[in-house]
């Protein structure tokens, strides 16, 4: 490059964030505290390790770590040295890690020593071109402890060059590599500051992996001089304790975490008074439970909608828009952000009118560059200069976006379209329903029929005819389907018929589930989304 591009880079934003607040705390991890100068020194130490290992501009690197400051140090060091970064999810297995590293052509893996030593060793054996570099978690080195090490300015990179690669589909098959440029990652950081309502004094509690959702929020928080408090393993009781102990003002939660917090007695949730912004996303949240959360905790919730292909910033339902008095508002995904041109389009790629359902499409600097080495898939997904998200949605009369389901999850029964998310929203309004997952199963007469897996609220009883017994519940999907199938079809003391009638009254007979299976819990993927493939497979088996 003969001239310096006007666009800032991720490395430059990181350098600015870490060098502007010499008296503030950047990270708290148990008994360990890192000031901004100490965090800067930690990043510099990892940069020097990367250089010693031979890594440099244009190389492909990856990070495997828990919710520790060192995970942030590692991803930051890679960005500042000009590497493309591909973080691994700490909960994935060795096969998923290997597939991701192979796909991304990673040469350098930084890993949390003492936790992922065996995983790193095995990966190095299976991938001969992989260099592994340990990250020590514990007492910091003298230069880091004192914050005296000087953070060097970042290596200058092309803002349009690949800066980050995420993965999609790794738990169900070969993953897709989602390439995001430096421009996209800078857009993500800056518009997260602009479009989200952060507290003036931001003390953020990390509840999800730093390699993924919470990590994407680190740079925006540090740019404003905030602090991040680490919580490596979530529990509702531990969450309350941490919020009270540190005066936490913001956090990110997936809906299942919020439900578990709401299950605590009022004496516990009353200890959450310091919270000002609770960001949530990753899956549909029950509007009834959301209204309960607002009643108990206040109007402190902010919903994000995004994809790995357009991270976090397609739309946002701000705190002030969480208004239970507006019909349907809590079921919406909010308004498009300032960096996203969002349209709803039909199968011919024509924009549809407000109220009509179509595919959600996004244009703007938040959109990915490509699927790594998949030009045909890239061209199809980005046709017309827009990201075709695969999500179906509609805009209401006030311009709020409503997501009605994945295009591939749409059910066609008797030639008519049924959108699972809209049916689920109605089911969740039933007083006996705590969670619901609606899918289509094959049917000889109708092509597909609408069926539902339902978790009952405490005190509601399935019982009665159709009881199939209960199996042990699992905390996370392993492809086995809903845990503890309890009742199928009619009977169940009339509760199935009551739920069906409740749905039919608003949605009509076509969208009403023909079968209801009561389960102990809905299986979820590692990022907290309902695992519809697992649900569908198990219901197909049960309802033969």
Asked if residues 539 and 532 have their Cβ atoms less than 8 Å apart, the reply is no
pLDDT of residue 348: 94
> Which of 83, 90, 377 lies closest to 100, judged by CA?
90
Interior/surface letters 117-134, b for 16+ CB within 10 angstroms, e for the rest: eebbeebeeebeebbbbe
> Which of 526, 449, 456 lies closest to 495, judged by CA?
456
Long-range contacts of 225-228 (CB under 8 A, 24+ apart): 225/20, 225/21, 225/24, 226/198, 226/201, 226/202, 226/250, 227/24, 227/25, 227/26, 227/27, 227/28, 227/202, 227/203, 228/26, 228/27, 228/28, 228/69, 228/72, 228/204
Q: Which residues contact 31 (CB under 8 A, 6 or more apart)?
A: none
Please state, as a whole number, how many other Cβ atoms lie within 10 Å of the Cβ of residue 115.
17
Beta-bridge mates of residue 36: none
pLDDT of residue 32: 94
Q: pLDDT per residue over 522-533, tens digit each?
A: 988 766 678 888
Task: Give the three-state DSSP class for 93.
Answer: coil
Q: Which residues contact 375 (CB under 8 A, 6 or more apart)?
A: none
Please state, as a whole number, how many other Cβ atoms lie within 10 Å of the Cβ of residue 103.
18
> Which of 260, 293, 295, 263 lies closest to 278, judged by CA?
293
pLDDT of residue 468: 32
CA angle 243, 246, 252 (to 5 degrees): 45
What gap in Å lies between CA 331 and CA 42, rounded to an integer? 42
Q: What is the pTM of this model?
A: 0.81
Q: Residues in the chain, how many?
A: 544
DSSP state of 390: E
Can you list the domains of the chain with their CATH numbers? Answer: 410-542 (3.30.300.30)
pLDDT of residue 381: 96
Q: Which residues contact 168 (CB under 8 A, 6 or more apart)?
A: 175, 176, 178, 308, 309
pLDDT of residue 341: 98
Q: Which residues contact 20 (CB under 8 A, 6 or more apart)?
A: 36, 225
Instruction: Supply 300's token pair.
Output: 């402190």
DSSP notation for 256-274: HHHHHHHTS-HHHHGGGTT
Instruction: Supply 197's token pair.
Output: 């309502």
pLDDT of residue 485: 47
Q: pLDDT per residue over 194-210, tens digit each?
A: 999 999 999 999 998 88
DSSP state of 330: G
Instruction: Supply 468's token pair.
Output: 């199939």
pLDDT tens for the chain, 544 residues: list them: 445 656 889 999 999 999 999 999 999 999 999 999 999 999 999 999 999 999 999 999 999 999 999 999 999 999 999 999 999 988 888 888 999 999 999 999 999 999 999 999 999 999 999 999 999 987 666 667 666 668 999 999 999 999 999 987 643 456 789 999 999 999 999 999 999 999 999 999 999 888 777 888 999 999 999 999 999 889 999 999 999 999 999 999 988 889 899 999 999 999 999 999 999 987 778 888 899 999 999 999 999 999 999 999 999 999 999 999 999 999 999 999 999 999 999 999 999 999 999 999 999 999 999 999 999 999 999 999 999 999 999 999 999 999 988 888 889 887 778 888 889 988 998 999 998 999 999 887 787 889 999 999 887 765 433 333 223 223 333 333 444 444 444 345 589 999 999 999 888 888 899 999 999 889 887 666 788 888 988 898 888 7
E-strand stretches of 58-161? 60-64, 84-85, 108-112, 131-135
> Which of 499, 462, 485 lies closest to 534, judged by CA?
485
pLDDT of residue 126: 95
> Which of 535, 519, 527, 538 lies closest to 409, judged by CA?
535
Asked if residues 22 and 31 have their Cβ atoms less than 8 Å apart, the reply is no
> Which of 495, 438, 492 lies closest to 465, judged by CA?
492
């Amino acid at each position: 490059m003969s001239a310096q591009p006007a666009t800032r880079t991720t490395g430059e934003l990181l350098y600015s964030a870490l060098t502007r607040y010499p008296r503030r705390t950047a990270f708290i991890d148990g008994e360990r505290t890192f000031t901004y100068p100490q965090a800067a020194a930690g990043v510099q130490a990892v940069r020097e390790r990367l250089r010693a290992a031979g890594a440099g501009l244009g190389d492909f690197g990856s990070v495997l770590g828990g919710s520790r400051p060192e995970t942030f140090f590692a991803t930051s060091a890679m960005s500042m040295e000009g590497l493309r970064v591909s973080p691994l999810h700490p909960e994935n297995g060795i096969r998923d890690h290997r597939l991701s590293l192979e796909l991304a052509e990673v040469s350098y893996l930084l890993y949390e020593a003492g936790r992922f030593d065996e995983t790193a060793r095995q990966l190095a054996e299976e991938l001969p071109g992989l260099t592994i570099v340990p990250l020590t978690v514990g007492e910091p080195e003298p230069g880091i402890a004192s914050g005296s090490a000087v953070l060097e300015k970042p290596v200058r990179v092309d803002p349009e060059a690949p800066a980050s690669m995420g993965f999609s589909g790794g738990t169900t098959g070969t993953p897709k590599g989602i390439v995001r440029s430096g421009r996209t990652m800078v857009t993500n950081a800056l518009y997260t500051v602009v479009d989200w309502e952060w507290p003036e004094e931001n003390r953020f509690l990390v509840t999800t992996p730093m390699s993924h959702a919470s990590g994407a929020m680190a740079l925006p928080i540090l740019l404003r001089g905030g602090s991040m408090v680490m919580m490596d393993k979530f529990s509702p009781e531990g969450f309350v304790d941490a919020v009270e102990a540190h005066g936490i003002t913001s956090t990110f939660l997936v809906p299942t975490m919020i439900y578990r917090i709401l299950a605590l007695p009022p004496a516990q949730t009353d200890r959450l008074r310091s919270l000002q912004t609770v960001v949530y996303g990753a899956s549909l949240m029950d509007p009834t439970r959301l209204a309960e959360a607002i009643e108990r905790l206040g109007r402190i919730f902010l919903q994000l909608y995004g994809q790995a292909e357009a991270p976090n910033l397609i739309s946002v339902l701000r705190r002030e828009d969480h208004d239970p008095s507006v019909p349907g508002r809590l079921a919406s995904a909010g308004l498009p952000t300032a960096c996203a041109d969002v349209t709803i389009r039909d199968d011919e790629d024509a924009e549809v009118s407000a109220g009509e359902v179509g595919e959600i499409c996004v244009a703007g600097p938040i959109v990915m560059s490509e699927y790594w080495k998949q030009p045909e898939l890239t061209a199809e997904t980005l046709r017309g200069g827009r990201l075709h998200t695969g999500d179906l949605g509609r805009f209401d009369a006030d311009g709020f976006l409503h997501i009605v389901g994945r295009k591939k999850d749409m059910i066609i029964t008797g030639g008519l379209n049924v959108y699972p998310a809209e049916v689920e929203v109605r089911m969740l309004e039933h007083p006996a329903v705590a969670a619901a997952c609606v899918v289509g199963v094959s049917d000889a007469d109708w092509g597909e029929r609408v069926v539902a897996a339902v978790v009952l609220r405490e005190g509601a009883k399935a019982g009665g005819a159709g009881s199939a017994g209960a199996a042990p519940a699992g905390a996370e999907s392993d492809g086995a389907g809903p845990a503890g199938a309890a009742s199928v079809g009619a009977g169940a003391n009339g509760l199935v018929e009551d739920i069906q009638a409740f749905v039919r009254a608003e949605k009509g007979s076509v969208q009403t589930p023909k079968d209801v299976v009561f389960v102990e819990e809905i299986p979820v993927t590692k990022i907290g989304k309902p695992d519809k493939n697992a649900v569908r497979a198990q219901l197909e088996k049960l309802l033969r």
